[in-house]
Amino acid sequence: MEILTAIVIEDEKNNAEALIELIREYCEGIEVKGRAENVKDGQKLIKSHKPDIVFLDVELPGGSGFLLFNYYDTEPPFVTIFTTAYDQYAIKAFEVNALGYLTKPIAPKRLKQAILRARGLIEAKIQEASLVVEPKVRISTGKEVIYVDPRTEIVRCEGDDNCTTIIFENKRKVLVTKTLKTFEQDWGKYGFDRCHKQHLINSAKIARFVNTERILELTNHEKIPVSVRLAHKFN
């Protein structure tokens, strides 16, 4: 059985410990990587551990658990199982495509059922992804046409008026007569995210975000500025 990873976003320590103990006792193949007490810290854990499952409380310090979904323009890259003492949020939970909604105190049987559904969904997505041909995009420079996988071969794009410089993993740079906005629209589905009016970043190439300086450090050791308006996406 493949090990699935999870994090718990729950402000009440006793409730979090009780949930983690239930998972360990009744749910084989689940490794809890950490716990956060609010949405902001929970998002940091998600970035660090990239969990398969997020157990999410609703009423948290600093704002509702539903604020977590503001970090994602599309479906989040994890399965969400809500854990709450209140049943009035169930409809809203399923509107954000939550897989499960468990009310406290959590019954082991319902927890096991939710995790079995989560495992089935995750395994189906993995199988579906394995059947997808790796994407190749066409880049025309005027002198040549290049076919690349942007997810792995390109680190970032830098805009200058109606031109864009594409920076590759192998440090090659290519100038293209297209706007940065065009690449943002076309490559968003490959994980590229705008961090500044002149910079579009491959999210997979981010090493860390220095919040005090609003700087992204990339895996190729470049340091890229982040605008005040877009800094919330990297916190």
Question: Across 141-191, where does the E strand assignment appear?
Answer: 145-148, 154-160, 163-168, 173-176
pLDDT at 127: 78
pLDDT at 125: 83
Q: Could you say which of 108, 130, 152 is where a domain stops?
A: 130
What span, in angstroms and rounded, lies between the C-alpha atoms of 7 and 21? 13
pLDDT at 6: 98
pLDDT at 1: 72
Which structural domain, as residue segments, surrounds residue 170?
A: 137-233
pLDDT at 129: 66
Beta bridge partners of 210: 215
The DSSP symbol for 88 reads T
Residues 111, 149 within the same domain: no
| Per-residue pLDDT band at 131 (split at 50, 70, 90) | low
pLDDT at 235: 80
CATH number of the domain residue 106 falls in: 3.40.50.2300
What span, in angstroms and rounded, lies between the C-alpha atoms of 177 and 208? 30
What span, in angstroms and rounded, lies between the C-alpha atoms of 60 and 84? 10
Residue range 3-10: average pLDDT? 97
CATH number of the domain residue 165 falls in: 2.40.50.1020
Residue range 17-31: average pLDDT? 95
**Residue whose entry in the numeric block shows the structure tokens 């902001």:** 40
Summarised one tens digit per residue, pLDDT across range 64-77 is: 999 999 999 888 99
- C-alpha neighbours within 13 Å on the C-beta side of residue 223: 5
Residue range 76-90: average pLDDT? 94
Question: Across the chain, where does the E strand assignment appear?
Answer: 4-9, 30-36, 53-56, 79-84, 100-103, 137-140, 145-148, 154-160, 163-168, 173-176, 192-196, 199-202, 206-210, 215-218, 223-225
Residues 24, 126 within the same domain: yes
| Per-residue pLDDT band at 190 (split at 50, 70, 90) | very high
Residue 133 has pLDDT above 80, yes or no: no
pLDDT at 128: 74
| Per-residue pLDDT band at 93 (split at 50, 70, 90) | very high
Q: Could you say which of 113, 130, 147 is where a domain stops?
A: 130
Residue range 58-69: average pLDDT? 96
Hey, what amino acid is at 86? Y
Residues 104, 208 within the same domain: no
| Per-residue pLDDT band at 134 (split at 50, 70, 90) | low
Residues 179, 126 within the same domain: no
Name residues whose C-beta falls within 8 Å of residue 67's C-beta, 6 or more positions apart in sequence: 39
Percent of the chain with pLDDT over 70: 97
Residues 40, 95 within the same domain: yes
| Per-residue pLDDT band at 233 (split at 50, 70, 90) | confident
The candidate with the shortest Cα–Cα distance to 23, out of 47, 49, 54, is 54
Residue 132 has pLDDT above 80, yes or no: no
Residue range 30-52: average pLDDT? 96
Residues 106, 146 within the same domain: no
- Other beta carbons within 10 angstroms of residue 165's beta carbon come to 15
Residue 176 has pLDDT above 80, yes or no: yes
Residues 122, 150 within the same domain: no
Residues 99, 169 within the same domain: no
Residue range 161-188: average pLDDT? 95
The DSSP symbol for 94 reads H
Q: Could you say which of 96, 130, 164 is where a domain stops?
A: 130
